[in-house]
Amino acid sequence: MNKKSVKDVELKGKRVFCRVDFNVPMKEGQITDETRIRAAIPTINYLIDQGAKVILASHLGRPKGQVVEELRLTPVAERLSALLGKNVAYADEAYGEKVEQAVDGLEEGDVLLLENVRFYPGEEKNDPELAKAFAQLADVYVNDAFGAAHRAHASTEGIAHHIPAVSGLLMEKELEVLGKALSNPDRPFTAIIGGAKVKDKIDVIDNLLDKVDNLIIGGGLAFTFVKAQGHDIGNSLLEEDKLELAKTFMQKAEEKGVNFLMPIDAVVADRFAEDADSKTVAINEIPAEWMALDIGPETANLYSEVIADSKLVIWNGPMGVFEMDQFAGGTKAVAEALAEANDTYSVIGGGDSAAAVEKFHFADRMSHISTGGGASLEFMEGKALPGVVALNDK
């Protein structure tokens, strides 16, 4: 990589603002998957060992510029303390006088976790004033938040223009592994796209169609395509203004000879709940008022066959609402197919996708579990990641 690394700078006694991606899945105030916290540990330990005063910053969820009590980083501070085996101080703000005092009190090797940076409207707007306020806290900026590197926000991009800015160890590892897989992909090359961030992810498909042999669609994202095919989708997730785009993608796939796979059956529910009434239906038989919350078993079989024949698979976004047992079958089947495909290099991207693979105990059978969801997709599309671009060149 042509960007400076945390290993290229003097850190002893320095205040280091380290942006991490602690955007972990939560349920009722509990962290349900700590993959992203664990992944940041090597950089944090390196900073501690070098005698830096470590200031950690992250977002959690999408609080849209205001304080949301459930999205405070308190549980993350606790979990991080346990993982590091040392006390992590926690500030309930992310900049300003109180935080500056806390930073002044840090000894070499101490760790302070700031409050959710997305509680401030300036974060996502990449407000230069907020970026300056973050920069004022530190002497060096380290970006280890690969998962948020596709966002040009104050703590991921803006701050890098004010103090020396280098990449963390996780950031480097992700770029290296993903870069290698993509530079000359083994074929057949298959991308599996699912999950719930339809708006974010649908555009990615366009670029992926230039690269892959098979494109598999599942999760909430699938139903915009199912609707574009002319089927009723009841109350399933829909991005109305992407319908036309979905049609053009299906056309493009055909022109390019890309095998475009969509659900042929689905598990539908009468409401979005663990104990909803549910049944499996053919894709053209989704009842009005019902919502599709998983791909059906026939779809899962079809997808599993394609996976077994692939040499490189990138997977981003669960096939269904895997957090609820009734709608976990599709995600589990795809994870299992990947685990069993011995000859296949499998890259899993995304906070919830990683959590799913972990939940079903297939994590150690995947080739690489990326901490990036949207970030890994944009990287694979060949887009520059603003959080990386902003770092100092070697």
Ligand X SMILES: Nc1ncnc2c1ncn2[C@@H]1O[C@H](COP(=O)(O)OP(=O)(O)OP(=O)(O)O)[C@@H](O)[C@H]1O
Query: Residue 208 interacts with ligand 3PG (CB under 6 A)?
Result: no
Among the candidate windows 67-75, 129-137, 145-153, 355-363, which touches ligand 3PG by CB under 6 A?
145-153
Please report where in the chains the tokens 């791909």 appear, as a residue.
Answer: 295
The reply to whether 374 belongs to the active site is yes
- Nearest-approach distance from CB 212 to Mg ion, in angstroms: 22
Instruction: Decide if 197 is catalytic.
Output: yes
Catalytic-residue membership of 179: no
Is-contact 158 127, C-beta < 8 A?
Answer: yes
By CB under 5 A, tell whether 352 contacts Mg ion. Answer: yes
219 is a contact residue toward ligand X (CB under 6 A): yes
Contact call for residues 92 and 120 (beta carbons, < 8 A): no
Closest separation in Å from C-beta 249 to Mg ion: 22
Verify whether residue 199 is a known catalytic residue.
no
**Out of 168, 329, 330, 373, which residue is the one contacting ligand 3PG (CB under 6 A)?**
373
Q: How far is the CB of 353 from ligand 3PG (least distance, A)?
A: 10
Burial (CB count within 10 angstroms: exposed 0-12, middle 13-18, buried 19+), residue 297: middle
Under DSSP, the state recorded for 117 is G
**Nearer to ligand X among residue 92 and residue 323 (C-beta):** 323
From the CB of 25, what's the least distance to Mg ion, in Å? 7
Q: Does 148 bind ligand 3PG (CB under 6 A)?
A: yes
If one asks whether residue 62 binds ligand 3PG (CB under 6 A), the answer comes out as: yes
Please identify which of the residues 349, 351, 372, 373 carries the catalytic annotation. Answer: 351
Cβ-Cβ contacts under 8 Å for 336 (sequence gap 6 or more)? 304, 360, 362
Nearer to ligand 3PG among residue 64 and residue 161 (C-beta)? 64
- 41 neighbors 168 (Cβ within 8 angstroms): no
Q: How far is the C-alpha of 240 from the C-alpha of 342, rounded, in Å?
A: 39
Q: What sections of the chain are H helices per DSSP? A: 35-49, 74-84, 97-104, 121-125, 128-136, 169-183, 198-208, 222-228, 243-256, 297-308, 329-340, 351-359, 374-381, 386-389
Under 8 Å between Cβ of 169 and 144: yes
Tell which one of 3, 14, 18, 21 touches ligand 3PG (CB under 6 A): 21
* Annotated binding-site positions for ATP: 201, 323, 350-353
Known binding-site residues for substrate equal 21-23, 36, 59-62, 118, 151
**Nearest residue to 312 via CA among 353, 365, 348, 350:** 348
From the list 329, 348, 352, the residue with the least C-alpha distance to 339 is 348
Stretch that binds Mg ion, among 67-75, 298-306, 347-355, 360-368 (CB under 5 A): 347-355
Q: Residue 293 has which token pair?
A: 């919350």
Cβ density class 346-363: b for 16+ within 10 Å, e for less: bbbbbbbbbbbbbbbebb
* Alpha helices (runs of H) in 184-328, residue ranges in sequence order: 198-208, 222-228, 243-256, 297-308
Shortest reach from residue 197's CB to Mg ion, in Å: 7
Can you tell me which of 122, 263, 318, 329 binds ligand X, judged by CB under 6 A?
Answer: 318
Q: Which residues bind ligand X (CB under 6 A)?
A: 194-197, 219-220, 237, 292-293, 316-318, 320-321, 323, 350-353, 373-374
Q: Which residues are catalytic?
A: 36, 197, 351, 374
Q: Which residues bind ligand 3PG (CB under 6 A)?
A: 21, 23, 62, 147-148, 151, 351, 373-374
